[in-house]
Amino acid sequence: DYRREKRLRRADGRWQWVRMTASAVRSDAGPPYAVAHIEDVTVRRAAEAALARRALVDPLTGLSNRGVLLDHVLLEIRELERLGGAVAVLYLDLDRFKDVNDTLGHAAGDEVLRTVATRLSETVRGSEAVGRLAGDEFIVVAHVWDEAQALRITRRLVDTVSEPIVVGSRAIVVR
Which residue intervals of 57-105 are DSSP H helices?
Answer: 66-83, 97-104
Q: What pLDDT is recorded for position 51?
A: 87
Write the pLDDT tens digit of every residue in 62-90. Answer: 999 888 888 888 888 888 888 888 999 99
DSSP state of 63: -
Of 58, 93, 136, 159, which residue is the catalytic one? 136
pLDDT in tens, 126-148: 878 999 998 999 999 998 999 99
Q: In what order do the strands lie in the sheet with 30-40?
A: 2-9, 15-27, 30-40
d(CA 121, CA 109): 18
136 is catalytic: yes
